[in-house]
Structure 1
Amino acid sequence: MASNAKPSGGLNGAYYGPSIPPTRTHRSVGGRSSACCCDPCGCLLCSLFKLIFSIIITLGIIVLILWLVFRPNELKVAVEDAKLTSFDLSNSSNLNYNLSLSISIRNPNRRISIYYDQIEAVALYDGSRFGYDGSLPVFFQGHKNTTVISPRFGGQAVSLGAVSGTYEREKKEGNFYVDVKLNARIRLKVKFVKVGHFKPKFDCKLKLPVPPAKGGSPATVFERTECDVDWI
């Protein structure tokens, strides 16, 4: 005989089990996710960049402090006197010359001294080099000191180049325009510390009176000329 009994509890045949707990999302400690931990190379580059940036900032602050303490001033260079006793162009390209200069170098700094380990002079005319003096003595220059050097150029420059047109024109005008460059290698002395090496260049653009004939005097007189100083 079939049983007509119904399930107890009044659930009408449906069964409801315990509720399913919600799925949790795992987060890193502190509630933040670190993408860097997933990319070790990225973390290394980021740390390296921060280190380099910190070093640059620190060096900049040190340089600024040193500049404020010592207040370095630019060297003052000038050609005080120049004597051009011979400047003759023959065969359109061979130049016979005799030029002597008196150049002052002024160190205006109160706390910085300078060692001149090497200094040489080069003379150019119309862009062509014709003279060189590498025999200038080395020297030490103290605070607020002026030192005078005397480059000399003499001899013959062979195959100087196409300068005859410039030469004839300037000779008629009464002045030759010569460019003298000084190349130096120096060290700085701050208190008891030596800092170097630096290679400044001094560029002196000269207007030289045409040498007079024998027994005569030049039509014009040389004027003191300041030189440009380039530390690059």
Structure 2
Amino acid sequence: MPQGERRCCGGFCALLVTAGLVVLIYWAIFQPHHIRATVDSAVLSNLTVSNSNASSAAAAAVSYDLTVSLRLYNPSVRVNIYYDAIDAELRFRDAVVGPAANDTSPSVFYQRRKTSEVVKMEFDYWRPGGGGGVTVGSDVARELVKETRSGGAVSLELDVDVRVRYVFRMFKLRLKPRIRCSLSIPVKTEGRHRGFGGVVASGDRCSVKY
């Protein structure tokens, strides 16, 4: 191998080694731990299903009010986090029964290391006198009716997509964690015209994937 090529190859290898050491040192200092999420509470009310006895090809409407308090914890020792966007939707048996009707509160915020923040999410799909519901397949509606009338709990899933920036001095790392929380809410009849409702204070950990 010519001497010039040897120097070029040696310089490239040295550059790779240096870059690797910089990344290792940076990671050791930065240490951006994954955020942790738990459901503090969930309040469900006015849950009603219409047209649930229709044929399997027909659609049905699900109306409800749901408020979820989600606690987000930053376990990092040195790293602060900027939450730039939070998008939430509710699912039942893998069927979407509505995105968050209002912006989360707070919708964006700054979180210091070793601190937690409670984010409130509201799903408002019920109106007095009807209307405001979410259209779902009648098979999904029938399953929901079964759960509400069984005397047990309604199983829902809260899906939250977050855009964050991990910040340590001049260093920034942008990530998009996905939070999934299982909600098992015991329900009972609220009244003849108001449907079903229930309250849960779970404290259950949610799964967080990056």
Is this contact kept in 2: 1:179–1:204, CA < 8 A? yes
2:108 is equivalent to residue 135 of structure 1? no
Whole-angstrom distance in 2 between the partners of 1:170 and 1:57: 59
Counterpart in 2 of 1:65?
A: 25
TM-score, structure 1 length as denominator?
0.70
Runs of 4+ displaced beyond 4 Å: 47-50, 53-57, 217-222
Q: Distance in 1 between matches of 2:208 and 2:165?
A: 16
Instruction: Tell me the equivalent position of 2:57.
Output: none
The match for 1:106 is: 73
Which of 174, 177, 191 lines up with 2:152 in the alignment? 174
**Which one of the candidate residues 33, 37, 62 is aligned to 1:77?**
37
Asked if structure 1 preserves the Cα contact closer than 8 Å seen for 2:51 and 2:138, the reply is: no
Native 8 Å contact 1:129 1:160 kept in 2: no
Q: Secondary structure at the match of 2:139?
A: coil
C-alpha distance 167-110 of structure 1, shift in aligned 2 (>3 A): same
Whole-angstrom CA distance in 1 between matches of 2:9 and 2:109: 44
1:112 CA drift (Å): 0.5
Aligned CA distance change for structure 1 residues 90 and 154 (closer, same or farther; 3 Å): same
Show structure 1 runs of 5+ residues with no match.
1-33, 38-42
Count of residues paired in the alignment: 189
Corresponding residue for residue 207 of structure 2: 228
What letter is aligned with 1:182?
V
TM-superposed deviation, 1:196:
3.3
Note the 1:82-161 alignment, pairs <5 A: 82-92=42-52, 93-133=60-100, 135-136=103-104, 137-155=107-125, 156-161=133-138
Higher Rg of the two aligned structures: 1
Change in Cα spacing, 1:73 to 1:91, as seen in structure 2 (3 Å) is same
1:29-48 matches, within 5 Å, as: none
Q: CA deviation at 1:221?
A: 4.5
- 8 Å contact 1:86–1:211 — kept in the other structure? no
TM-score, normalised relative to structure 2: 0.76
Question: SS in structure 2 opposite 1:226?
Answer: coil
Tell me the amino acid that sits aligned with residue 183 of structure 1: D
RMSD after superposition = 3.1
Q: CA deviation at 1:76?
A: 1.2
Are 1:183 and 2:155 matched, yes or no? no
Displacement of 1:187 in angstroms is 1.0
TM-superposed CA distance for 1:124, in Å, is 0.9
SS in 2 for 1:223: coil
Q: Which amino acid aligns with 2:154?
A: F
